[in-house]
């Protein structure tokens, strides 16, 4: 006999008051208040994989707009990040086992998708985060919050890039994660000019001088015109990171942890699904 708690969440359309029919929407379950993916099971107590250490993060798929999973009996609440088939995202904070209905607004157009990283990889492998951008999502900005800093060789070497599988450096380029706090993609400025812009080329267009300095840049959004594999959200530890630890084992101290926030608009005529 297994000692587990059942979580059964049904997404409900606030306009029609009816359950949402979604069989391809994705979700990830996190430890409450932490970017660490929780240990979850199915009804037979088979563990549902949410991370392949050092390789990729994995989302679970909802059925008929339902999210069903189990945790150990000692777990009283979890956080859940949801991305529906139609491209609408919801971060459900502090969900309890008894909370079975989640009301979602189908008419909202501005969203923030949350994807966590708990990185135990010491290589430069491009790591899928488990979410794929849906058609009609226009990414306007990306932020990163470091909850636990990377522990490596030099502080300046602990860098991370955030993008999509078609361009792993597309959103944030070489962001330093050696200190906790929020990180944004502004250029590095010195007395001789600006260099090394931290925005990726999917979110900004750059004008360079003949001497390699940044003369100007213009912000722009990245539009996911289709939901294809090149729009899988990914992260990558950069080649400059010469680390003194190998984070290939679960629980090794020094693995960087945090959240990535994707701020986007959903173009109303482009979504492939009417339901949220």
User: Per-residue pLDDT tens for 129-171?
Assistant: 999 999 999 999 999 999 988 765 454 556 788 999 989 999 9
Report whether pLDDT(65) > 80: yes
Which residues on adjacent β-strands are paired with residue 70?
A: 6, 41
**Would residue 274 count as lying in a domain?**
no
**Would residue 275 count as lying in a domain?**
no
Position 244 scores a pLDDT of 40
d(CA 95, CA 79): 6
Reported confidence tier of residue 241, pLDDT bands at 50, 70, 90:
very low
Position 250 scores a pLDDT of 42
What is the number of structural domains in the chain? 1
**Would residue 86 count as lying in a domain?**
yes
Residues 230 and 166 sit within 8 Å (Cβ to Cβ) = yes
Average pLDDT over residues 170-196: 75
Query: What CA–CA distances, in Å, run from 152 to 59, 201, 243, 258?
Result: 28, 27, 4, 16
**Would residue 110 count as lying in a domain?**
yes
Residue-wise over 45-67: b if at least 16 C-beta within 10 A, else e?
Answer: eeeeebbebbebbbbbebeebbb
Position 210 scores a pLDDT of 72
Report whether pLDDT(117) > 90: no
Q: Which domain holds residue 243?
A: 4-266
Position 245 scores a pLDDT of 38
**Would residue 276 count as lying in a domain?**
no
Residues 127 and 235 sit within 8 Å (Cβ to Cβ) = yes
**Would residue 42 count as lying in a domain?**
yes
What is the percent of the chain where pLDDT is above 90? 51
Output the pTM of the full model: 0.89
Report whether pLDDT(43) > 80: yes
Position 251 scores a pLDDT of 42
**Would residue 158 count as lying in a domain?**
yes
d(CA 127, CA 58): 10
d(CA 127, CA 52): 10
Report whether pLDDT(111) > 90: yes
Q: What are phi and psi of 20, to 5 degrees?
A: -85, 135
d(CA 231, CA 235): 12
**Would residue 272 count as lying in a domain?**
no
Average pLDDT over residues 87-109: 90
Residues 22 and 89 sit within 8 Å (Cβ to Cβ) = no
């Amino acid at each position: 006999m297994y000692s587990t708690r059942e979580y059964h969440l049904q997404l409900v359309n606030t306009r029609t008051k009816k359950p949402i029919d979604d069989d391809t929407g994705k979700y990830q379950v996190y430890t409450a208040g932490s970017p660490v993916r929780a240990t979850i099971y199915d009804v037979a107590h088979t563990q549902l994989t949410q991370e392949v250490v050092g390789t990729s993060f994995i989302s679970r798929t909802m059925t008929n707009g339902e999210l069903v999973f189990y945790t150990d009996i000692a777990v009283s609440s979890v956080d859940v990040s949801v991305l529906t088939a139609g491209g609408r995202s919801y971060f459900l904070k502090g969900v309890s086992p008894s909370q079975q209905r989640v009301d979602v607004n189908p008419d909202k157009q501005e969203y923030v998708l949350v994807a966590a990283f708990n990185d135990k990889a010491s290589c430069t492998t491009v790591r899928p985060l488990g979410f794929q951008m849906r058609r009609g999502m226009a990414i306007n900005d990306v932020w990163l919050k470091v909850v636990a800093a990377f522990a490596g060789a030099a502080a300046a070497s602990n860098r991370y890039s955030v993008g999509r599988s078609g361009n792993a450096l597309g959103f944030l380029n070489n962001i330093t994660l050696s200190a906790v706090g929020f990180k944004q993609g502004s250029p590095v400025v010195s007395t001789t000019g600006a260099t090394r812009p931290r925005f990726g080329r999917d979110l900004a267009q750059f004008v360079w001088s003949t001497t390699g300095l940044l003369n100007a840049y213009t912000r722009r959004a990245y539009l996911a015109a289709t939901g294809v594999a090149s729009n899988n959200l990914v992260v990558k530890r950069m080649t400059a990171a010469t680390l003194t630890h190998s984070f290939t084992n679960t629980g090794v101290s020094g693995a960087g942890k945090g959240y990535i926030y994707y701020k986007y608009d959903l173009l109303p005529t482009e979504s492939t699904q009417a339901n949220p």
